[in-house]
């Protein structure tokens, strides 16, 4: 059976709470069946509102949301058949783990036998086999989280929504849960819409990421494309680390442009600039700039080391380069002996392809 490319479809959706400010502006988003899509953005960017509209707890002010080609704006939440994992788990504290998981099955009037089978299966899936008779209060945060995930999946929904489900966990647990959720998604193939403000989480888990800002989707693409090829300076800034130079295009031809800075000039890859004289922000990922490059690179500059911070697997070096004193380099801690000392002048080189000339900030 071919997968539907627009299993979940946001069609020109606007949302306003007070009639003055649009929280979500003209949202168009297609989510493929079985896909893991993350809505990523800073707080107040409208991502949770989108999720709530999909779950049915908020109604779009304009536009329509389709689930499997059916408009769902007028369907109440309990008839949508969408599973949801809440930020604070929202486990029913007066029910045991078993009763929590049986709840969606009971309201669907399943037989006791089927309920037990399904609950056992779901608990096994999140490796909580022996915990059926515990109360949620007796579980650790991570275990509660898994129960919440199991509960959202136990009634075989076509879509599962997750609203910052790992926000309350500590760092190590969060990382292991990321993999766990990813593996569950891969093994059962359910469509997941995931909301987070943690870019690491988004990059680890998703098939595609929709970066939200200011009520709009800034970019929707796979994690690697998002990181390597951000389409605007917000995405470049928000995802990963980023060195930027503000300047003006002085020459443009054959997919290469020259950007004139206050001090000096760099050769860059024109992404959102088209003509000479346009203002632009050039973005370079820290790991794309190399110290004393062996291969020939079309940008070569000298910079002065201002700060060296040891990070275990790598060392962060802050340079003053072309008038930008916030230029960051990440140097892997290999045996390679580079002359990284405070105050030293070093040669830095990068390819023009990795220097993306985006919209000005």
Partner 1 sequence: MSSETGKILTTDGIPLEESLKQSEKKNKIKAFLLVAPLLLFLIITYMIPIGDMFSRSIDDKMVTNMLPKTYKAMENWDGKELPPEEVFEAFYLDYKILVKNKTAGKLQTQLNYEKNGFKSVLKKLARKQKKFEEGNYKEQIMKVHKRWRNVEYWRAIKRRAPSYTYSKYLKGIDMYSNEDGKIVQVSEDRRIHRILWIRTVEVAFFVTLFCFLMAYPIAHLLATLPMKYSNLLMICVLLPFWTSLLVRTASWMILLQQQGIVNDFFVWIGLVADDNRPEMMYNKTGTYVAMTQILLPFMVLPLYSVMKTISPSLMRAGKSLGATPATAFFKVYFPLTIPGIGAGCLLVFILAIGYYITPALVGGASGTLISNQIAYHMKSTLDWSFASAMGLMLLTGVLVIYWIYNKLVGVDNIKLG
CA 268 to chain centre: 26
Query: Quick one: 55 or 328, whose CB is closer to partner 1?
Result: 55
List the Cα angle 289/293/294 in 5-degree steps.
150
Query: Quick one: 155 or 227, whose CB is closer to partner 1?
Result: 155
Contact 322, 260 (CB under 8 A): no
Query: Quick one: 40 or 82, whose CB is closer to partner 1?
Result: 82
> Could you tell me the smallest distance in angstroms from the CB atom of residue 34 to partner 1?
20
Chain residues that interact with partner 1, rule: CB under 8 A? 55-57, 76-84, 86-88, 90-94, 103-104, 107-108, 151-152, 155, 161
> Could you tell me the smallest distance in angstroms from the CB atom of residue 266 to partner 1?
49
Measure the CA–CA gap between 337 and 158, rounded to whole angstroms. 54
Range 270-278 contact pairs with CB under 8 angstroms and sequence separation of 24 or more: 270/357, 271/229, 271/231, 271/356, 271/357, 271/358, 272/231, 272/232, 272/357, 272/358, 272/359, 273/249, 273/357, 273/358, 275/249, 276/249, 276/250, 276/251, 276/252, 277/248, 277/249, 278/248, 278/249
Query: Quick one: 80 or 146, whose CB is closer to partner 1?
Result: 80
> Could you tell me the smallest distance in angstroms from the CB atom of residue 341 to partner 1?
48
Looking only at the bridges linking them, the beta strands covering 265-270 and 356-358 are parallel
- Residue 302: count other Cβ atoms within 10 Å of its Cβ: 12
> Could you tell me the smallest distance in angstroms from the CB atom of residue 104 to partner 1?
4
Contact 358, 230 (CB under 8 A): yes
Measure the CA–CA gap between 115 and 128, rounded to whole angstroms. 16
The DSSP bridge partners found for residue 301 are 348
DSSP structure string for 12-32: EEEEESSSSSEEEEEEEEEE-
Q: What is the dihedral of CA 322, 327, 333, 338, to 10 degrees?
A: 20
> Could you tell me the smallest distance in angstroms from the CB atom of residue 166 to partner 1?
16
Query: Quick one: 58 or 354, whose CB is closer to partner 1?
Result: 58
Query: Quick one: 120 or 175, whose CB is closer to partner 1?
Result: 120
Query: Quick one: 28 or 138, whose CB is closer to partner 1?
Result: 138
> Could you tell me the smallest distance in angstroms from the CB atom of residue 310 to partner 1?
38
Query: Quick one: 109 or 341, whose CB is closer to partner 1?
Result: 109
Query: Quick one: 91 or 210, whose CB is closer to partner 1?
Result: 91
Query: What backbone phi and psi angles, to 5 degrees, belong to 277?
Result: 95, -10
Measure the CA–CA gap between 336 and 331, rounded to whole angstroms. 10
> Could you tell me the smallest distance in angstroms from the CB atom of residue 77 to partner 1?
4
> Could you tell me the smallest distance in angstroms from the CB atom of residue 17 to partner 1?
11
Query: What backbone phi and psi angles, to 5 degrees, belong to 292?
Result: 45, 60
**Both structure tokens of 185:** 């998604």
> Could you tell me the smallest distance in angstroms from the CB atom of residue 176 to partner 1?
24
């Amino acid at each position: 059976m071919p997968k539907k490319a627009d299993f979940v479809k946001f069609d020109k959706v606007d949302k306003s709470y007070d009639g003055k400010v649009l929280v979500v502006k003209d949202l168009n988003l297609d989510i493929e069946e079985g896909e893991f899509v993350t809505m990523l953005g800073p707080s107040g960017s409208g991502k949770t509102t989108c999720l709530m509209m999909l779950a049915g707890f908020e109604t779009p002010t304009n536009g329509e949301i389709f689930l499997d080609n059916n408009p769902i704006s007028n369907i109440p939440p309990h008839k949508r058949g969408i599973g949801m994992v809440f930020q604070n788990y929202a486990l029913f504290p007066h029910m045991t783990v078993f009763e929590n998981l049986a709840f969606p099955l009971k309201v669907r009037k399943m037989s006791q036998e089927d309920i037990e089978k399904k609950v056992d299966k779901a608990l096994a899936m999140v490796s909580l086999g022996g915990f059926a008779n515990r109360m949620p209060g007796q579980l650790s945060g991570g275990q509660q989280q898994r129960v919440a995930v199991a509960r959202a999946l136990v009634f075989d929904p076509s879509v599962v929504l997750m609203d910052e489900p790992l926000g309350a966990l500590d760092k190590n647990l969060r990382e292991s849960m990321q993999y766990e959720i990813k593996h569950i998604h891969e093994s059962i193939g359910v469509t997941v819409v995931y909301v987070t403000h943690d870019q690491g989480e988004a990059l680890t888990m998703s098939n595609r990421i929709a970066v939200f800002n200011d009520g709009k989707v800034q970019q929707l693409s796979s994690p690697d494309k998002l990181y390597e090829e951000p389409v605007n300076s917000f995405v470049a800034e928000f995802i990963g680390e980023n060195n930027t130079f503000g300047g003006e295009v002085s020459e443009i031809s054959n997919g290469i442009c020259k950007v004139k800075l206050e001090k000096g000039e760099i050769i860059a890859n024109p992404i959102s600039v088209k003509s000479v004289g346009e203002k632009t922000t050039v973005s370079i990922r820290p790991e794309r700039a190399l110290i004393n490059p062996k291969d020939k690179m079309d940008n070569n500059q000298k910079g002065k080391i201002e700060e060296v911070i040891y990070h275990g697997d790598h060392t962060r070096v802050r340079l003053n380069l072309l008038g930008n004193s916030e230029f960051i380099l990440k140097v892997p801690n290999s045996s390679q002996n580079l002359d990284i000392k405070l105050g030293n002048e070093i040669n830095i080189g990068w390819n023009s392809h990795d220097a993306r000339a985006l919209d000005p900030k």
